[in-house]
Amino acid sequence: MRENQLVSLLGICLRAGNEILDVYEQDFEVEIKADHSPLTQADKRAHRVIVEGLEALDAQYPILSEEGAEITYGERKGWNRFWLVDPLDGTKEFVKKNGEFTVNIALIEDNYPVQGAIYAPVLDTFYYGIIGEGAYKLENASKAPVTTEEELFQASSKLPETNDPGRIHVVASRSHMSEETRKFIDDQEAKGLEVDVLSAGSSLKFCLVAEGRADFYPRFAPTMEWDTGAGQAIVEAAGGTVIRHDNNERLDYNREDLTNPWFLVKMR
C-alpha cells in the first residue's frame, strides 16, 4: 500500500460525497437503467470524481465501477489488482431521502478484497479496513484534521466497538428483505435465541457487522460485486467473515458474471 493511500481515499470519498449531497439537497430526476435500477446525476458526478481521484492516486490499477463503461470479461479476467467502485450505493435510499447511502471503494487483489473504504455522506462517517491490519471508523470525517495515516488512525475508532453476547442481532436490507432472509431469522428464533432485527440501507449493513452492532447479515437476494467489495474488506479486517451460501467459501470477485451469489456476513 502506498504511503498515505488511506488519506487519499478519504479525500476522494469526501469529494464524491460533496457531489452527492449537492444533488441530494435539490430536486433531481431519476433515470431507470436497463436492469430497472435507478440512476441519478449524483451517481454520475460521484463516479467522475472517484475515477479522477483513483487515476491520480495510481494510474496503473484499472477501475471497475458500476457507472463506468462496460468492460468485458475478456479484458478484465487477467486483472490481478484493480479498484472496485460503487459511486453511490443505495440509490433507492438516496431517492427516498433517508440518508442511508454510501460511497464504496475496494482494492481487489487476486480475486479478493484487501482494502475497503465506505463513506456515508449524510452521517459524515468514514469506514475503512485493511485485511490483516484492522478496521476503523472515523466520525465527523469532513471536519477531521487528517493529513497523514498516523493522524487518521489516531482520530478513528478501532472496530468492532461493541458486542452484546446476550442476544442475536441480524441486519437486513431496508429495501430488499427476501423470504429466505425472513426464514434465516425464523431459524435463529427456533433455536431458542432472542433475535433483534436491524434495518439499514446500502453497505451500511456491512458496517453494522464490522462495528459489532450486528452478528449476522444474511443476503439471500441479488447484489453486484461493487455493492459488496468494500464492505467485505472492512468486515474481514474487523475479524468477521463473508461466506458464499452455495459452497461455504469466501466470497470472491472478478467473476465472469458480476452478480454475486447469496452470502452470509457474520461476526460470530
> Looking at the structure, do residues 133 and 212 belong to the same domain, yes or no?
no
Residues with Cβ < 8 Å from 110, sequence gap 6 or more? 80, 81
* Whether 230 contacts 104, CB under 8 Å: yes
DSSP 141: G
How confident is the model over 15-47, as pLDDT tens digits? Answer: 999 999 999 998 888 888 877 788 889 999 999
CATH of the domain at 69: 3.30.540.10
Place of cell 472515523: 138
Residues with Cβ < 8 Å from 16, sequence gap 6 or more? 46, 49, 50, 53, 87, 103, 119
* Whether 171 contacts 219, CB under 8 Å: no
> Looking at the structure, do residues 106 and 204 belong to the same domain, yes or no?
no
> Looking at the structure, do residues 131 and 201 belong to the same domain, yes or no?
no
Range of the domain at 63: 5-159
> Looking at the structure, do residues 64 and 128 belong to the same domain, yes or no?
yes
DSSP 251: P
Q: Which three cell numbers stand for residue 171?
A: 441486519
> Looking at the structure, do residues 24 and 139 belong to the same domain, yes or no?
yes
How confident is the model over 76-101, as pLDDT tens digits? Answer: 999 999 999 999 999 889 989 999 99
CATH of the domain at 177: 3.40.190.80
> Looking at the structure, do residues 124 and 178 belong to the same domain, yes or no?
no
> Looking at the structure, do residues 104 and 213 belong to the same domain, yes or no?
no
Handedness of CA 143, 230, 228, 36 (dihedral sign): positive
How confident is the model over 233-260, as pLDDT tens digits? Answer: 999 999 999 999 999 999 999 999 999 9
pLDDT band at 74 (very low <50, low <70, confident <90, very high): very high
| Domain end point (choices 140, 159, 178) | 159
How confident is the model over 207-243, as pLDDT tens digits? Answer: 999 999 999 999 998 899 999 999 999 999 999 999 9
For residue 235, which phi and psi values (nearest 5 degrees)? -60, -45
Separation CA 121–CA 188 (nearest Å): 34
The domain tally of the chain equals 2
Q: Which three cell numbers stand for residue 190?
A: 427456533
- State percent of the chain over pLDDT 90: 77
Calculate the average pLDDT of the chain.
93
* Whether 225 contacts 122, CB under 8 Å: no
- Residue 177: pLDDT over 80: no
Query: Which pLDDT does position 90 carry in this prediction?
Result: 92
SS3 198: strand
> Looking at the structure, do residues 115 and 215 belong to the same domain, yes or no?
no
- Nearest Cα to Cα of residue 109 among 136, 131, 135, 134: 131
Q: Which three cell numbers stand for residue 196?
A: 433483534
> Looking at the structure, do residues 220 and 141 belong to the same domain, yes or no?
no
Q: Which three cell numbers stand for residue 121?
A: 455522506
> Looking at the structure, do residues 216 and 253 belong to the same domain, yes or no?
yes
Handedness of CA 137, 138, 142, 146 (dihedral sign): negative
In the chain, the amino acid numbered 237 is: A
> Looking at the structure, do residues 70 and 121 belong to the same domain, yes or no?
yes
Query: What's the burial of 190, exposed, middle or buried (CB within 10 Å: 0-12/13-18/19+)?
Result: exposed
